[in-house]
């Protein structure tokens, strides 16, 4: 988190804020600068209270009102960290609502950040598609919507700043079989996530789940091939310092992509979207908010 951007976090828990960020991690490195530019009054927590944030660590077993009284009242309460299973959302909402007063007739707007991994079927999904009901995060999200009319933003892979999807390659593809099984990748840039949260704060939809992506469907084979070529070229020109074993992996990746294309009868990259299995349609949220993503294809 950029420490300079959190110096103005209100320290007095009694100060009402527009937006309370429960968990100022990576997302906040994009969100807080935008809130400041937009003049939206905010407060933010971390588990340690670093960089002038409010120390707050949610523990579903703990019902100490004093912990929640350290938090300011807010129009929107953004829950960044994951809640899981039955009971956690209800507990957080009850503790917050019982320790904070709202203006008559007004409800706190709880927003949970979730993941698009709750949609698993090998088909197109949008915000209204059936999802994995037994997923621990989906259970907590459903509970939040039920107990407080909260809303959920289920996010595609997050990138921007220190995070580049290229760095996920090593983690997810180590063998040709793994590459063969890889279909589509979906992402959203931190800048667009921050814009989405601000738009949602202003245009809250109670009890609604949304799917957030940059509206692109990326083909893992296409990305792997492109990134391997870039890394090898960078290593050759001296632009990148690439260890010898990583160079070998990139060469292997290139060969695997070519071999798989021949074996699977894929004439060109990217593959046709209809052959990628699980794909995400992110249009709904942006249309509803009346804004569109500002980041195009991953570089």
Q: Which residues contact ligand NAP (rule: CB under 6 A)?
A: 22-27, 46-48, 56-58, 80-82, 113, 115, 155, 157-158
* Contact present, 31 and 193 (Cβ < 8 Å): yes
Q: Give the nearer residue to ligand NAP in terms of CB position, either 58 or 110.
A: 58
What residues have CB less than 8 Å from 158, skipping those under 6 apart?
A: 26, 27, 187, 188, 190, 193
CA 118, CA 132: separation in Å to the nearest integer?
Answer: 5
What are the strands of the beta sheet with 209-212, ordered from one edge? 54-55, 42-46, 17-22, 74-79, 109-115, 151-155, 209-212
Task: Provide the minimum distance between the beta carbon of 116 and ligand NAP in the complex, in angstroms, as a whole number.
Answer: 7
Max CA distance (Å), the chain: 66
CA 245: distance to chain centroid? 32
Pick between residue 81 and residue 124 the one whose CB is nearest to ligand NAP: 81
Give me the half-sphere count of Cα atoms (radius 13 Å) on the Cβ side of residue 85: 2
In the bound complex, what is the minimum distance in angstroms from residue 132's beta carbon to ligand NAP?
Answer: 15
Closer Cβ to ligand NAP, 58 or 131, answer by number: 58
Place of tokens 């999200």: 141
Using the minimum distance from each CB to ligand NAP, give the nearer residue, 190 or 270.
190
Closer CB to ligand NAP, residue 79 or residue 224? 79
Name the residue among 125, 149, 122 with its Cα closest to residue 283.
125
Residue nearest to ligand NAP (CB): 25
Q: How far is the CB of 259 from ligand NAP (least distance, A)?
A: 29
Q: Which is nearer to ligand NAP, 113 or 228 (CB)?
A: 113
Shortest Cβ 225–ligand NAP spacing (Å): 22
The least distance separating ligand NAP from the CB of residue 130, rounded to whole angstroms, comes to 19
Please state whether 207 falls in left (phi above 0), alpha (psi between -120 and 50) or beta. Answer: left
Encoded tokens for 54: 């409010």
Q: How many CB atoms lie within 10 A of CB 193?
A: 26
Of 119 and 256, which has the nearer Cβ to ligand NAP? Answer: 119
Q: How far is the CB of 272 from ligand NAP (least distance, A)?
A: 26
Closer residue to ligand NAP (CB): 67 or 249 = 67
User: Considering the complex, what minimum distance in angstroms separates the CB of residue 251 from ligand NAP?
Assistant: 28
The alpha carbon of residue 49 and the mean position of all alpha carbons in its chain are separated, in whole angstroms, by 22
Rg of the chain (C-alpha set): 21
Least Å distance between CB 24 and ligand NAP? 5
């Amino acid at each position: 988190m950029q420490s300079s951007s959190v110096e103005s976090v209100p320290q007095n828990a009694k100060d009402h804020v527009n937006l309370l960020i429960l968990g100022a991690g990576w997302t906040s490195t994009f969100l807080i600068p935008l809130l400041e530019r937009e003049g939206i009054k905010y407060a933010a927590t971390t588990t340690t209270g670093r960089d002038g944030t409010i120390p707050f660590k949610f523990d579903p077993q703990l019902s100490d009102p004093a912990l929640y009284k350290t938090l300011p009242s807010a129009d929107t309460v953004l829950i960044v960290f994951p809640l899981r299973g039955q009971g956690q959302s209800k507990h957080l909402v009850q503790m917050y609502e019982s320790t904070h007063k709202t203006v008559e007739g007004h409800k706190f707007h709880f927003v949970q950040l979730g993941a698009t991994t709750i949609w698993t079927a090998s088909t197109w999904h949008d915000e209204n598609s059936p999802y994995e009901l037994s997923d621990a995060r989906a259970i907590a999200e459903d509970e939040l919507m039920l107990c407080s009319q909260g809303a959920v933003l289920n996010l595609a892979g997050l990138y921007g700043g220190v995070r580049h999807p290229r760095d996920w390659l090593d983690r997810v593809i180590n063998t040709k079989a793994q590459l063969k099984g890889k279909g589509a990748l979906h992402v959203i840039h931190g800048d667009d996530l921050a814009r989405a949260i601000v738009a949602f704060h202003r245009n809250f939809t109670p009890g609604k789940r949304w799917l957030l992506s940059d509206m692109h469907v990326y083909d893992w084979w296409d990305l792997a091939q492109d990134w391997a070529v870039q890394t090898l070229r960078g290593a050759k020109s001296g632009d990148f310092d690439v260890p010898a074993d990583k160079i070998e992996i990139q060469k292997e990746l290139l060969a695997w992509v070519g071999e798989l294309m021949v074996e699977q009868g894929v004439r060109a990259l990217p593959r046709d979207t209809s052959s990628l299995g699980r794909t995400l349609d992110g249009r709904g949220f942006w249309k509803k908010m009346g804004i569109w993503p500002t980041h195009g294809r991953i570089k």
